[in-house]
Amino acid sequence: MSVETFASEQENITSEFFARFCGIVFSSLKRRDQRRWARLYIRGLLSIEGRKTMRGIASLESEPAVEQSLQQFISQSPWAWISVRRTLAGYLEQAIRPIALVAEPLVIPKSGEHSVGVERRFVQKLGRLANCQQVLGVWLASEQAAFPIDWRLILPESWTDDPGRRRRAGIPDEEVSLTVEECAAEVVADIIKVWGLKPRPVVMDAREIDIGRLIFELSARGVPFVLRVHDSTPVSPSDPRVPMGMGRRIEAGQLIDALRDVSRIVESRRPVTGGAAAAPHTAVVVTARVHTPFRSATAKDEPSTLTMLGAWTGPEQRSVAVWLSNITKMPPAALLRIAQTAERVAWDRAGVTHRLGLRDFEGRSFRGWHHHVTLVSAAHAFWMLLSGGRDQRLFPVTAMPAVHGGRTSRTA
């Protein structure tokens, strides 16, 4: 078989997969034109280099008024984005082997004051004030890959309490201002209890938010969790193995160090620099039962009793990572693999989703933003499934798949 013949057959296979994928994911869109615009939008997200603009996506079609029709489909058409997300999540649940839901807060920098939900606020990761949207993404994650399945705009009171802003952005009446902790608990509870997916633990990096509030909100909804916390988090050991005795309040990092003699070596997988999907490695871990000063909704006014997981990572295993979980009966290796799905999400978000235009929505409507990020999620899923869950080895930073007339090819 010649190189040209092989390339043509591969392109046909990709084209067929794209058509089948879109047929399933957009099956809830009843109108043929809506399904057409959804496919075109994904093609644009995959094909357009740089910023994903409506004009650039519309340029893939030579027909007149495409940009206007596409704009209407994204910003005004009343199609239900939640139905598309639920269909996508169900499809992914069958296609991969997810072990966790990962909730990840993000900030999306914006210029001006008209993008829905934008506000000037202090961003801890940036260490300064920034004009931005605050967003929560929920990802379905395995050890090999992660896929965004739901998004929420965390609206500040400057938007929810302003009738004029609500009207201009089309913010529904039921949308209220929530904290990050409340939003995360509400979204993952809906996914677990309403969407029909298999229950899975929620993983979240809680080092920059109110860990006590998050534990209360998640436990109030009966959600299993694995939460990354600072090693300075106060805990009181309820484990007879602790040499300094039970009941004494100490920092989590100190407790982990004190238990190093009873630690164990386990095998786990995590993304690594250089593009490997999930490299096998060993980690030194320890678990212990601890009391925390954080109140659980299920324990009324009593302190929470949780499982603390500690892992030594980095060169010569000197760095300590700490998680708190309400999962009590799980081997340390399995708990660590669940905890590390947050790293998988950070890797795939930086490597794929942002290059697919997550931050590029130019409209000002609440509906338009949700439509855009829903289609970004679908584009991410298509590309990751097409590439077998592997990441940057398949396409360098300057190369994303280009889709022409329903056919996908690599472009440099």
- Using a 10 angstrom Cβ sphere, with 0-12 exposed, 13-18 middle and 19 or more buried, the burial of residue 186 is middle
pLDDT of 396 > 80? The answer is no
When mean pLDDT is compared across 199-208, 258-267, 376-385, 387-396, the lowest value belongs to 387-396
**C-alpha span between 6 and 193 (Å, rounded):** 46
The per-residue pLDDT for range 223-262, each reduced to its tens digit, is 999 999 999 999 988 877 666 656 688 899 988 888 888 8
pLDDT of 90 > 60? The answer is yes
pLDDT of 2 > 90? The answer is no
Q: How confident is the model at residue 151 (pLDDT cuts 50, 70, 90)?
A: very high
- 234 strand-pairing partners: 251
Q: How confident is the model at residue 130 (pLDDT cuts 50, 70, 90)?
A: confident
**Buried-state track 242-268, b at ≥16 Cβ within 10 A, e below 16:** beeeeeeebebbebbebbeeebeebeb
Report pLDDT for 279. Answer: 57
Query: Which residue range forms the structural domain that includes residue 125?
Result: 3-410
Would you tell me the crossing angle of helices 81-95 and 366-386 to the nearest 10 degrees? 20
Report pLDDT for 138. Answer: 97
> What is the CB neighbour count within 10 angstroms for residue 331?
12
Tell me which amino acid residue 388 is.
G
pLDDT of 73 > 70? The answer is yes
Report pLDDT for 407. Answer: 43
Report pLDDT for 317. Answer: 60
Q: How confident is the model at residue 409 (pLDDT cuts 50, 70, 90)?
A: very low
Report pLDDT for 353. Answer: 80
Question: According to DSSP H, which parts of 53-210 are helical?
Answer: 54-58, 66-75, 81-95, 157-160, 163-169, 180-193
Q: DSSP 3-state assignment of 310?
A: strand
When mean pLDDT is compared across 155-169, 172-186, 286-300, 349-363, the lowest value belongs to 286-300
- How many domains does the chain divide into? 1
**Buried-state track 86-112, b at ≥16 Cβ within 10 A, e below 16:** bbbbbbbbebbebbbbbbbbbbbebee
Report pLDDT for 301. Answer: 56
pLDDT above 90 coverage of the chain, percent: 58
